[in-house]
Every structure is written in C-alpha cells, then in structure tokens.
C-alpha cells in the first residue's frame, strides 16, 4: 500500500492579492472622507477668521459697498461712474482676506470662503468674486457673481452646483451680513465668445447672485452659470432642504469602491473557506 502523501500547502498568492486589494480599497474609499474633513476644517478656520474681522457690521463700509456697486452698474451701462474714487481697498484693507463665505445645504457645501478676484491663488483657496460685477449687498440693481473650481481632486468647491434645482437655497455671508438666494435657472456659456461677459451684467432691478464653474467635467471648455434671486432669511430657513448630490460623480466614486471592497471581502471569505475544506478533505 503506497504511503500517504502530505497534502500540499495551499498557495498563499491568491490570499495575499485579495488582502492587498482589500487594503487598497479601504484606503481609496476613506481618502475622500479624510480629505473632506481636512478641507472642511481649513475652510471653517478661514470663515471664523472672517467673522472675527468683519463683525459687527460697519455702516461706513456698507455705504462704500453701495457706492462701489453703483459704479459697477454705471460701468456696465457705459455711463460715467458716480463715485470714481471708491475702490475695493477702501472697503477691505486686506484685499487678500476673505470677505465672506458661501454655503449650500442641498449639495452639502459647507462654509466656503469667498475672496475678491479670480486669480489662481484665490481659486486655490476657495470661491472668487468677479471684479467687474457687484459685491453681495442689499438693495436693487445688484448682481454678484461668484466662481470656483470643479473637477479637481484637491479643490472640490462648485462641483455639484450643476445639480441645483429651482427653489434650492444658497446662503452668502458677506461683509458681516447674511443673505439668502433661491435658485432660478441654469445657463451654459462659451467663454471664448466675445460677448460672454454680458451674461454677468445687471439685467434688472432685482438682487441676484450668479454661481459659475467649468463644464462639462473633465473637459471644462464651457461655463455653467446658476442664477438665484435674493429672498428673506426667514423664508429661506423654512424652505425644505432636498439633497441634490446623492448621485454626484464623487459619491458614485465612493459607491463603486464600497462595492469593490465588499466584493473583495466576500471573495477572500469564499476562498479561505474553500481552502479550509480542501485541507479537511485531504487529512480526512
């Protein structure tokens, strides 16, 4: 009778590969959450610094903002500026500091700082304000335009404004005043067109904001504009918040890696059980 042969030790290669896959999936799944936590804390610090500097409201500053916006309206209409001596530096002595922040509950955009201008340095930190448009303020004939990056892994600011629907609320805190705006509509423009800037001009006496970002994601050769009009804060706070970003690209990315992680865990469990049964059968 031939001597019993010792069963071969099952190959550990598959187990190692599955464990490596699980580890990588865990890292990739949690990376966006860690980044979002870090970025949110950084934005919150800037917002807190703004509130310390800007509050309480300053009547002189408010008057200068009103004059600044009157100059913007006149310039857009091709008229002589009524207050030619008023500059942004008179309103905010530190031109590089945030003058406010924007938050949009329906797409989970937390307090993101708003700066004057649209330079690369500004857009790397948060939201920029188009210098040829109004500053956020009360009153009529005001259209403030805010812009931010989209589709960049380390600059997730206005990625999800594309999902906003009519009636969704946008909050802007600027120069020690809080404002609320209800979304009206969206529009896509080609920035290469010579008259593209006219989309940001004041069209009527309403108080509005325009949110702008690049579109389509990954190509970014056009600009998406989201128009909203000012509403009372009391009305805004009683407006139900509906999550619009459930199927955003970032969330889909998270869902995919979660499914991959579950699949790898199940595959590892199945393979480990299979190898155990083989060993039990070999020694039986």
Q: Copy the structure tokens of residue 248.
A: 């955003």
148 pLDDT tier (thresholds 50, 70, 90)? very high
> Does 100 have pLDDT greater than 90?
yes
242 pLDDT tier (thresholds 50, 70, 90)? very high
Cut 0.85: pTM above it = no
> Does 11 have pLDDT greater than 70?
no
pLDDT of residue 127: 96
The string of pLDDT tens digits covering residues 157-204 is 899 999 999 999 999 999 999 999 999 999 999 999 999 999 999 999
Report the 10 Å Cβ neighbour count for 184: 13
Place of tokens 């002189």: 60
pLDDT of residue 151: 62
> Does 8 have pLDDT greater than 80?
no
Q: Copy the structure tokens of residue 181.
A: 């705006």
Q: For residue 167, count CB atoms less than 10 angstroms from its CB and return exposed for 0-12, middle for 13-18, buried for 19 or more.
A: middle
Distance (Å, whole) CA 58 – CA 227: 28
pLDDT of residue 61: 97
Distance (Å, whole) CA 248 – CA 79: 44
- CA atoms in the 13 A half-sphere facing the CB of 210: 26
Distance (Å, whole) CA 85 – CA 11: 80
Cis bond leading into 216, ω under 30°? yes
The string of pLDDT tens digits covering residues 24-37 is 878 877 777 787 78
Instruction: Please report which helix (H) or strand (E) contains residue 231, including its range.
Output: strand 222-231
Report the 10 Å Cβ neighbour count for 232: 10
DSSP 152: B
> Does 251 have pLDDT greater than 80?
no
- CA atoms in the 13 A half-sphere facing the CB of 142: 20
């Amino acid at each position: 009778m031939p001597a019993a042969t010792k069963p071969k030790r099952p190959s550990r290669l598959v187990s190692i590969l599955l464990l490596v896959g699980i580890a990588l999936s865990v890292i990739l799944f949690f990376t966006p959450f860690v980044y979002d936590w870090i970025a949110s804390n950084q934005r919150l610090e800037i917002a807190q610094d703004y509130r310390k500097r800007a509050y309480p409201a300053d009547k002189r500053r408010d008057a200068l903002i009103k004059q600044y916006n009157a100059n913007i309206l006149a310039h857009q209409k091709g008229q002589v500026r009524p207050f030619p001596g008023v500059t942004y530096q008179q309103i905010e002595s530190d031109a590089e500091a945030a003058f406010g922040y924007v938050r949009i509950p329906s797409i989970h955009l937390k307090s993101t700082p708003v700066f004057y201008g649209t330079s690369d340095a500004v857009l790397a930190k948060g939201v920029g304000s188009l210098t040829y448009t109004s500053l956020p303020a009360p009153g009529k004939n005001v259209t403030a335009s805010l812009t931010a990056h989209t589709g960049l892994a380390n600059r997730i600011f206005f990625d999800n404004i594309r999902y906003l629907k009519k009636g969704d609320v946008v909050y802007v805190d600027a120069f020690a005043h809080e404002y609320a705006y209800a979304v009206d509509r969206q529009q896509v423009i080609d920035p290469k067109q010579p008259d593209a800037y006219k989309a940001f001009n004041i069209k009527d006496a309403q108080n509005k904001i325009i949110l702008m970002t690049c579109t389509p994601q990954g190509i970014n050769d056009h600009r998406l504009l989201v128009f909203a009009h000012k509403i009372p804060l009391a009305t805004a706070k009683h407006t139900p918040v509906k999550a619009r970003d459930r199927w955003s690209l970032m969330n889909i990315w998270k869902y995919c890696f979660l499914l991959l992680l579950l699949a790898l865990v199940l595959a590892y469990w199945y393979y480990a059980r299979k190898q155990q049964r083989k060993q039990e059968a070999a020694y039986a």
